[in-house]
Structure 1
Amino acid sequence: MEPVRLVIVEDDPMVMEVNSEFVSRISGYKIIGKAFNGSEAWKVINQTKPDLVLLDYFLPDMDGLSLLKDIRNSDLPVDVIFVTANRDPGHIQQILRFGAVDYIFKPFRFERIRTALDQYRFMRKKFREQQIEQRDMDVITGIRVHDSTQTGGNDLPKGLNDRTLQQILSFLAEQTEPMSAEDVAAGTGLARVTARRYLEYLQKKGHIQLEVQYGSIGRPVNRYKK
């Protein structure tokens, strides 16, 4: 799968540097443009035709919502994730109505943007398939359906959380080959023992499949796939 082509729009040079560094640490993404104001962003977006834009709300010459509206009115096939300090509920509601796929508050941790970008890659992959199942849509929209007939209860086991669960599911959905716990740990930034706990839980509930691979020597290796 080709890397997601991404443009970052941010007026603060220091924040731009941090955002760029974070994105560079996430596999599957390529930064193809940067802009420090709205008019420059509009030019870069039209020239480069990115897949995704990381967009600040507060820009020197316009707000991010206005730029998002311009993108939608021009029918450009570009997705947008807001990365901003703006917490105004009215603005956020409008932004979501105009199709932003995520909204990240500043300041944020690396784990938050990595989860967002992992989720975005999963969404792109599913939209390229011929058919999407309900469970795929639930991952895309972040909906967790409690079904006691399938999960054995309404709560995750102690020590597990839903965000990490979805992160692992998204990671596995991107892979073409079964992954070991060590592979998943390396790909998600989790500790190996943590990755193994989540994988065992997901396999037990039937959300992923287990393949046991036997080598010529040594112990068999458990590998998992979505």
Structure 2
Amino acid sequence: MELIRMLIVEDDPMVMEINAEFISRIGGFQLVGKAFSGTEAFRLIQETDPDLVLLDYFLPDMDGLAILKEIRLQELTVDVIPVTANRSAEHIQQILRYGASDYILKPFRFERLQTALEQYKITYKKLRMNDQLEQVDMDLITGMRSQKADTTNRMLPKGLNPHTLQQIIDYLQEQKKAMSAEEVASGTGLARVTVRRYLEYLQKRGDVQLVVKYGSIGRPVNRYRL
């Protein structure tokens, strides 16, 4: 998959570098620009064409809400994740009404940004790799399925590894069609018997759909899709 292009808008140089370092630790993203003001942000949006902007709220020349409003007014095709210490429910509601992809409160840890970007990555993939979406796709985009997965991962059956489980889920998310255990094993480098066990587990908990393909000769093939 192509890298997701990111722009950071932050007036504090130290915080800027911390955020840039955080992004470098998360696979699938490319930092294409750093803006220290709202004016510079709009210039870099035009020049670098980012997919996603990590937007500090308090800037020298304008606030984050004004920037987000202007982005929508100009119909710029860019998503925004605001980062702010403002905890006002009314303010957060305004930000969300203008289409913010997430809302991160300062101070935040690396894990919170990672969660936001991994969720954005799911949305990005689903909207660009599919002409039409199913309800299971929408559940992934809205985070409903990932929330269920987080809960279930804490209670995995003995012998199942959460990292291996996530590897298989990530691979299935990248595919546009139902995949057999053999195909998933080939794509992930895992043993076929291992993949089959994880796929059967995902099916039982309702995270994958089973599609049985019948051929003219031989046994039917089980295929799985998110």
Give the TM-score taking structure 1 as reference length. Answer: 0.71
- Tell me what 2:131 maps to: 130
Q: Could you tell me how far apart the structure 2 residues matched to 1:33 and 1:8 are? A: 6
- 1:41-70 Cα deviation digits (max 9, x unpaired): 111112111111000111111100101111
Largest Rg, 1 or 2: 2
Alignment of 1:88 with 2:83, yes or no, is no
1:171, distance to aligned residue in structure 2 (A): 3.1
Contact 1:5 1:51 in 2 (8 A): yes
Given residue 12 of structure 1, which amino acid in structure 2 is its aligned partner? D
Q: How many residues align?
A: 190
1:214 alignment partner in structure 2: none
- Structure-2 residue corresponding to 1:78: 78
Distance 1:90 1:160, change over 3 A: farther
AA at the equivalent of 1:171: D
| Aligned counterpart, 1:112 | 112
Structure 1 stretches (4+) deviating beyond 2 angstroms?
A: 142-145, 155-161, 167-180, 198-204
The alignment's TM-score, normalised by the length of structure 2, stands at 0.71
Q: What is the percent sequence identity of the aligned residues?
A: 59
CA shift digits 1:75-114 (9 cap, x unpaired): 1100001122121211111111010111111121222211
> What does residue range 45-194 of structure 1 map to in structure 2 within 5 Å?
45-128=45-128, 129-143=130-144, 156=151, 159-160=154-155, 168=166, 171-175=170-174, 178=184
CA distance in 2, matches of 1:65, 1:7: 17
Is the 8 Å Cα contact of residues 178 and 225 (structure 1) preserved in structure 2? no
Which residue of the partner structure matches residue 42 of structure 1? Answer: 42
RMSD (CA atoms): 3.5
Tell me, which stretches of 5 or more residues in structure 2 are unaligned? 157-161, 176-182, 191-197, 211-223
* Partner Cα distance (1:117, 1:64) in 2: 19
CA contact (8 A) 2:119 2:143 kept: no
- What is the alpha-carbon distance in structure 2 between the residues aligned to residue 95 and residue 179 of structure 1? 43
Q: Which segment drifts farther, 122-131 or 135-144?
A: 135-144
